[in-house]
Chains A and B, each alone.
Chain A
Amino acid sequence: MASVTADSPVKPGAFWGTRLLSIVLALAFCFGIGAMEGSIPPFAFRILVLAGLYVTLSVSLNLINGITGQFSIGHAAFYQVGAYVTGFLTINYFDGQPLTAIPWLVIMMIAGAAGAGIVGLMVGLPSLRLRGDYLAIVTLGFGEIISIVTRNQKALGGSYGMQIEPKIQAPWLVWLLAIICIAVCRNLIKTAHGLPFLAVREDEVASSAMGVNTTKTKVTAFVIGSAFAGAAGALYGHFESFITPDMFKMEVSFIILTMVVIGGTGSITGSTLAALFLFGLPEWLRTLKGADGNALQIPAPQVIAALFGVVVFVACARWVRDRYHEKGMKLAGAYGSAVGIAVVASLLFRPLAALIPSMAETSWEINSLRMVIFAVTLVVVMLLRPEGVLGHHEFSWAWLRSLFNKKNKEVQA
């Protein structure tokens, strides 16, 4: 995968052609989603819509974490601010104003973005003096403060939550927001406006020496990222029509962080795909049924054996990579053999794990393993490929075209 480079000139006509094609495809996709309502089961539809929200969240966090190189781990707070601000506005001001539901929802989306953007500014300001790990803790703390304050505000429903009336659902808008978010981030890093962001990521001191206003850049990234999360929160609140502080727990922040990190810090394509995959995976696991028709139960020894297999895999993969890669061994082969060894080790370990007292007859519902799977994936990706699965690679039309061209060439040859 390669992005458009200087030595592959694109004709102006082709540039506008692909641009127009992208926009048309995006709009068609959004309205296609909207048209699917009713033709697929409601729970599947709901998952489809929520996946769009997670794409927005993950791409907007990627703007802060991946593209600007700051480290925020409290993204759910902005999501929460968006949902609560707009929920409060809708409850109090929807009746007695002339707008119908959808235009009102668009306005609410903007209001949510503005509210979360202001909060983002407040979090971004301390980041002037902090970097790296300190900033991470501050954002975590900020998320926690927002959560505690909402929990104790009677006006916001306290810990019981808030009923948003009327319920406004606009699935196409959810996906439109996701696509706008992707487009904004993509255009930002492809144009001169985005270069300071990348410069700050690569080296803050050096970029400030070269005249980049690092403070402004970092705060801008924070504000844009949190504004998108706020807009997503507004849509989420109106879609579910009932919000509680528990829906925006720290767990959500960590899930979004996992999406960004696994997809590839700095890769918009990566965080989009990771959001879809990591959101879809638990939902798919939830649909799995055991032989008795209830949710699938995984015996404890199997889980322990699987964890052991992961450890073996990581150890093998690192060992092989460090020693044999230079000698001309293919990396794919190395990883393949590591997987093989890990599977064998895991199978051999299984009867041993069953010997642990009280473990042999324990079993867990597969859904309760969700966060464990996320955590393990996070650690494994970090140990094997710290830049994330896609690294800094991006999807682009030029890459797609080069793929076809290569195929054509092969056919000709």
Chain B
Amino acid sequence: MDLFSPHLLAESGINFSTLPSQLVNGLLLGSIYALIALGYTMVYGVLRLINFAHGEVFMLGAYTSLFVAWKQGFGQGVSPDQMPQGSWGLLIGMMIISMLVCAIIGVIIEFVAYRPMRNQSRIAALITAIGISLLLQYGGQLFLPAEPPPSISEKVLPDSIQGSYTMNLKKAPPQLVADLDAAKTKLQEIKDRLVERTTAMGISEFGLPDDDPDRVAKLETQDLVNRLNPQVEEQSIAIIVPKGQLVMFGTVVMLMGILWWLVMFTKTGRAMRAAAHDFESASLMGINVNRVVVITFIIGSALAGAGAMMNAVFIRTPLTPFYGFMPGVKAFVAAVLGGIGNIPGAVLGGLVMGIAESLIVWVGYSEYKDAIAFVILIVVLMFRPGGLLGSSKVEKV
């Protein structure tokens, strides 16, 4: 859309009846961002390092679940009819394998690239992280299938969660709906009659003269349907959500609950919180900080792996080696928005990011949906650098 266009609002087609649906979509998308943002925020909390390669871990997790699906007979060349029945077991298996692979990759990255840089300046560590991220992206371009971008077949879902769930918030006036239904029935009747007549005569519909009564009637009814349809849509409000995405949301909430328990109520969690509070002092108090860092990477990467699997299966964006970059950056923005290092903040930030993105799409600027993340980031950093739930600290000498 052209920024200088004078009829911007009029063209953008703002339609309030789709708003609730978009908000729910944003919430679901945001839950994935929140899951990735947790990885950023935990690593930042402990090491004060932006784990730039986190988005690439996410990408590798998505590819892992793709390979698992291919291995189970949902391959690219297989026609949908020959694919086996999807099952819950397969989904859970994909998720666990993806989480495992991501955790291993995260630990390897920490061990190979971040641990040697721990005594160096933060900028040097950040450059290393960027280097690892580039290496995984462009190395992935060599090794991973990307042309054409593969995506996981819908068939992996079990029957019970295929299709979508519709919730009617407000129905259109009954008169209007009745009119529309009547028009549709009439249209179908006319079409049937036309087909009957033309097959009898052995010609196509266009073989009939233009002023044939059935053809005229067909055009008129079609017109009526086209006129009534948007009216009904505008006056009824419904939320349509794919069932799979509801499952996804439930899983995200469950994973967050587990994380909450892990961080707040276990000994390891307490060690993590101590290390995040003060790395040096924690190591002096007998906490094995190296172990804490490894566990942080395991948890963060596993969450990214789970998010990647769900993003690939339920949202079904095609996979490329650069697949993790944008979600990674957006999740980072979400972490900053919530207050980096703050776990509830990351969740809140992720949900806000998802909703902001779908609102932008709803207003009609879908081209700018990747830019909104950065606009939010700049605004937050200028006015509340500590994030929504964080506190901004002044550097002391």
Task: Indicate whether B211 reaches chain A with its CB closer than 8 angstroms.
Answer: no
In the bound complex, residues from chain A placing their C-beta under 8 Å from that of B132 are: 375, 379
- CB–CB B382/A129 < 8 A: yes
What sequence of 0s and 1s flags, for each residue 166-207 of chain A, a beta carbon within 8 Å of any chain B beta carbon? 000000000000000000000000000000000000000110
**Smallest distance from the beta carbon of A412 to chain B beta carbons, Å?**
44
B1 partner, pick from A152, A209, A254, A300, beta carbons under 8 A = A152
A-B contact pairs, 20 of them (CB 8 A): A126-B381, A132-B122, A134-B336, A136-B50, A137-B329, A137-B332, A148-B368, A148-B370, A155-B4, A205-B395, A254-B130, A254-B134, A368-B142, A369-B142, A371-B137, A372-B138, A378-B130, A379-B131, A379-B135, A383-B128
Task: Indicate whether A110 reaches chain B with its CB closer than 8 angstroms.
Answer: no
Taking A137-B50, A254-B134, A257-B127 as known contacts, 4 extra A-B pairs with beta carbons closer than 8 A to each other, sorted by chain A number, are: A130-B381, A144-B329, A206-B397, A383-B117
**Bound Cα distance from A209 to B395, whole angstroms:** 13
**Smallest distance from the beta carbon of A202 to chain B beta carbons, Å?**
11
- CB–CB A137/B377 < 8 A: yes
Task: Indicate whether B374 reaches chain A with its CB closer than 8 angstroms.
Answer: yes
- CB–CB B382/A149 < 8 A: no
**Which bucket holds chain B's interface residue count?**
35 or more
CB-contacts of A359-413 with B (<8 A): 364, 368-369, 371-372, 374-376, 378-379, 382-383, 386
* Chain A, residue nearest B123 (CB): A71
- CB–CB B397/A205 < 8 A: yes
**Smallest distance from the beta carbon of B49 to chain A beta carbons, Å?**
8
The chain A residues found within 8 Å of chain B, CB to CB, are 69, 71, 73, 126, 129-130, 132-134, 136-138, 140-142, 144-145, 148-149, 151-155, 205-206, 209, 254, 257, 261, 300, 303, 311, 318, 364, 368-369, 371-372, 374-376, 378-379, 382-383, 386
- CB–CB A372/B139 < 8 A: yes
- CB–CB A154/B371 < 8 A: no
Q: Which 4 residue pairs of A and B lie closest in terms of their CB atoms, listed nearest first?
A: A141-B374, A378-B131, A375-B134, A375-B135
- CB–CB B329/A140 < 8 A: yes
CB-contacts of B340-397 with A (<8 A): 367-368, 370-371, 373-375, 377-378, 381-382, 385, 395, 397
- CB–CB A153/B3 < 8 A: yes
- CB–CB B2/A382 < 8 A: no
Task: Indicate whether B112 reaches chain A with its CB closer than 8 angstroms.
Answer: yes
- CB–CB A261/B378 < 8 A: no
**Bound Cα distance from A282 to B303, whole angstroms:** 38
B142 partner, pick from A205, A254, A257, A372, beta carbons under 8 A = A372
**Bound Cα distance from A129 to B120, whole angstroms:** 23
* Chain B, residue nearest A130 (CB): B381
- CB–CB B126/A138 < 8 A: no
CB-contacts of B107-160 with A (<8 A): 112-113, 116-117, 120-124, 126-128, 130-132, 134-135, 137-139, 141-142
A386 partner, pick from B121, B139, B142, B385, beta carbons under 8 A = B121
- CB–CB B127/A378 < 8 A: yes
* Chain B, residue nearest A69 (CB): B123
In the bound complex, residues from chain B placing their C-beta under 8 Å from that of A145 are: 371, 374-375
Given A145-B374, A148-B367, A152-B3, A303–B381 Cβ distance below 8 Å?
Answer: no
What sequence of 0s and 1s flags, for each residue 47-80 of chain B, a beta carbon within 8 Å of any chain A beta carbon? 0011000000000000000000000000000000
- CB–CB B122/A144 < 8 A: no
A132 partner, pick from B126, B130, B135, B138, beta carbons under 8 A = B126
B134 partner, pick from A138, A155, A378, A383, beta carbons under 8 A = A378
**Smallest distance from the beta carbon of A292 to chain B beta carbons, Å?**
21
In the bound complex, residues from chain B placing their C-beta under 8 Å from that of A303 are: 142
In the bound complex, residues from chain A placing their C-beta under 8 Å from that of B2 are: 152-155
In the bound complex, residues from chain A placing their C-beta under 8 Å from that of B128 are: 378-379, 382-383
**Smallest distance from the beta carbon of A2 to chain B beta carbons, Å?**
24
- CB–CB B377/A144 < 8 A: no
**Bound Cα distance from A298 to B375, whole angstroms:** 43
**Bound Cα distance from A81 to B138, whole angstroms:** 26
Given A132-B126, A136-B126, A372-B142, A141–B135 Cβ distance below 8 Å?
Answer: no
Given A152-B368, A154-B2, A254-B130, A318–B373 Cβ distance below 8 Å?
Answer: no
In the bound complex, residues from chain B placing their C-beta under 8 Å from that of A154 are: 2
A134 partner, pick from B127, B137, B329, B381, beta carbons under 8 A = B381
**Bound Cα distance from A372 to B138, whole angstroms:** 6
**Bound Cα distance from A223 to B378, whole angstroms:** 18
In the bound complex, residues from chain A placing their C-beta under 8 Å from that of B4 are: 155
CB-contacts of B1-54 with A (<8 A): 1-4, 49-50
**Smallest distance from the beta carbon of A278 to chain B beta carbons, Å?**
13
**Bound Cα distance from A371 to B135, whole angstroms:** 8
Given A372-B139, A379-B131, A386–B124 Cβ distance below 8 Å?
Answer: yes
CB-contacts of B279-332 with A (<8 A): 329, 332
In the bound complex, residues from chain B placing their C-beta under 8 Å from that of A205 are: 395, 397
B126 partner, pick from A126, A133, A364, beta carbons under 8 A = A133
**Smallest distance from the beta carbon of B54 to chain A beta carbons, Å?**
13
- CB–CB A144/B371 < 8 A: yes
In the bound complex, residues from chain A placing their C-beta under 8 Å from that of B117 are: 382-383, 386
**Most chain-A CB neighbours within 10 Å: which of B1, B49, B374, B385?**
B374
**Smallest distance from the beta carbon of A270 to chain B beta carbons, Å?**
15
**Bound Cα distance from A334 to B371, whole angstroms:** 48
**Smallest distance from the beta carbon of A239 to chain B beta carbons, Å?**
27
**Bound Cα distance from A311 to B139, whole angstroms:** 15
- CB–CB B385/A130 < 8 A: yes
**Bound Cα distance from A148 to B373, whole angstroms:** 12
**Bound Cα distance from A351 to B2, whole angstroms:** 56
In the bound complex, residues from chain A placing their C-beta under 8 Å from that of B368 are: 148-149, 152
**Bound Cα distance from A328 to B312, whole angstroms:** 55
- CB–CB A151/B367 < 8 A: yes
In the bound complex, residues from chain A placing their C-beta under 8 Å from that of B130 are: 73, 254, 257, 378
- CB–CB B134/A382 < 8 A: no
**Bound Cα distance from A133 to B123, whole angstroms:** 7
In the bound complex, residues from chain B placing their C-beta under 8 Å from that of A69 are: 123
**Bound Cα distance from A375 to B116, whole angstroms:** 17
In the bound complex, residues from chain A placing their C-beta under 8 Å from that of B333 are: 137, 141
A152 partner, pick from B50, B112, B120, B367, beta carbons under 8 A = B367
**Bound Cα distance from A349 to B33, whole angstroms:** 40
In the bound complex, residues from chain B placing their C-beta under 8 Å from that of A300 are: 142
In the bound complex, residues from chain B placing their C-beta under 8 Å from that of A378 are: 127-128, 130-131, 134
**Bound Cα distance from A272 to B254, whole angstroms:** 53
**Bound Cα distance from A145 to B135, whole angstroms:** 24
